[in-house]
Every structure is written in C-alpha cells, then in structure tokens.
Structure 1
Amino acid sequence: MMSPPGVRVTGLADAPKLEVFSDPAKSQQEALSYLLRGQGLSNSGADGNAMTSMLIGMGVAQSGQLVGKIGEAFGVSNLALDTAGVGDSSQVVVSGYVLPGLQVKYGVGIFDSLATLTLRYRLMPKLYLEAVSGLDQALDLLYQFEF
C-alpha cells in the first residue's frame, strides 16, 4: 500500500526547490498524479494528456530565467518558453521580440508533431498585424481593448 505522497521544499526562500515524493518511491509524475487526483497515471484514461501537459508546463515554468539569459545572448528580448492550448492541442511555445514591435512565436505540439510559426507586428499602440503558419495559414489584424 502506498502512503500519501507529499511535496518536499528545500533551498532559499527566493529560489525554492520542489520535489514530489512518495513511499514506496514512484516517479515524480506518478506521485504528482496521486497527489493531485488520488490515482496513478495508468488509471488516467483521457486525463493522461491533461496531466502530461500540466507536468510539461511545470517543467517549462522553472526554466524562465535561463531562457531569458539565452535570449539576451542572441539579441532576442523577452525570450520566453511556455505552454499554450489545451488537451490534445497543447504546444510548447518559444517566443521573443527580434526587433522593437516584432514578436516571433514558434510552437510545437506536445502530442503531435505539428508546428506553428507566428509573427506579430505592432502597427500602432493597440493595433497588430499577425501572420500564422502551421497546418493552416492566417493573416489577422488585431486591435487590443483594455477594460
């Protein structure tokens, strides 16, 4: 019988290290599944993709500072690594500004090999021109409202 899993927090307050654990020892993914849902990944069925997306998102979130430093070294401002989408359409996305007002995003599907390239150019303070190329292509004119 498995005892309840837990989260071990070590390190400094401004840079904590989190580790999911269980007894008997399981992979962190399996222990996290028990911690969050009360069942293992093998019992997840359709929820398996959602759990996988969440775990990838957690890993990506921890790489933020490193990705930003890499971007600075190559002259890309605000370089970020993130996840986007839900379910089977989840993607890992890298984005950054290569020129003032020109943002480039490149996303690759987590559960498929579909890639998407997005270019967004700021025409005016709240007006953008966005081109997307992937399975389909699109050219959009976007206006940003603030509430």
Structure 2
Amino acid sequence: MAYQESFDIHSRGRGTIEITAQVGRIARAAGVPTGIAHVFVLHTSCSLLLTENADPSVRRDLETLAGRWAPDADPAYQHDCEGDDDMAAHGRSILAGVSVTVPLSNGALRLGTWQGIYLWEHRTVPHRRRVVVTVVG
C-alpha cells in the first residue's frame, strides 16, 4: 500500500523550519502500521534533514558549516543568475540532500528522542517550498 500527500512551507530566508508535525500527520493519515515515510522536497536550493531538535545551536552551527562548504559570492562560481547566494544554495542542497526516509512503527514516525525533520532553506530571501511525503507499508 502507498499513500502520498504534499504540503507547502513558506521560508523566511536562510535557516531551518521544523516539519516533523506535518510529516507525522501525513504518516498517521496513511493508516500504515509498519513501513516507511519518504520525504522529498521539489527544489534545488533547499534541503531536508534529520537532526537534533532540542538545542537550536546545532542548526546555527550547521549554517556555519554550510558557509564553509559553499560560501556565497565565490568568484569561481559561474552560475549567479539569481544573486550571490544562487550557486551556494545549489551546492548546499546537493551536499545536505533533498530527501529523508523515516521508519514507521504503530502508524507513527519512529524518530529518536532528539530527532526532528527540518526543511533547510539555503536562499537568503523567502521562498515557497513544496514537500512531498510518500508512505509505503
């Protein structure tokens, strides 16, 4: 059995937005007791991550790391059609990934105590992002 639903997230610009509750609601609506929830974002300049949800400094430190991996306005970039953060956002998306898969147990997301699912916006200005959740069981 498979079930699929999508939802939009409106970012405020670069940073993380927790989407665990939205994904959990979709997983419960699927009515699958045991399976997986695959979460995918339909964009090339943001990512999805499964990370610490208790201490926000972890997500701030991830921004610091990402700035080292793919700095804005690097003069070596050729692709800058949408501004100084354009190629950096694409690079960060590739490095962090655009999907996560979470097991389901008893119809709910089987996350660890300190885990949450986040959309990670890599652009510096607000964007509307579409997330697709596919539940298979």
Q: TM-score, length-normalised on structure 1?
A: 0.22
Structure with max Cα Rg: 1
- Between 1 and 2, higher relative CO (CA 8 Å, sep ≥ 6) is seen in 2
Hey, which of these two has a bigger chunk of strand by percent? 1
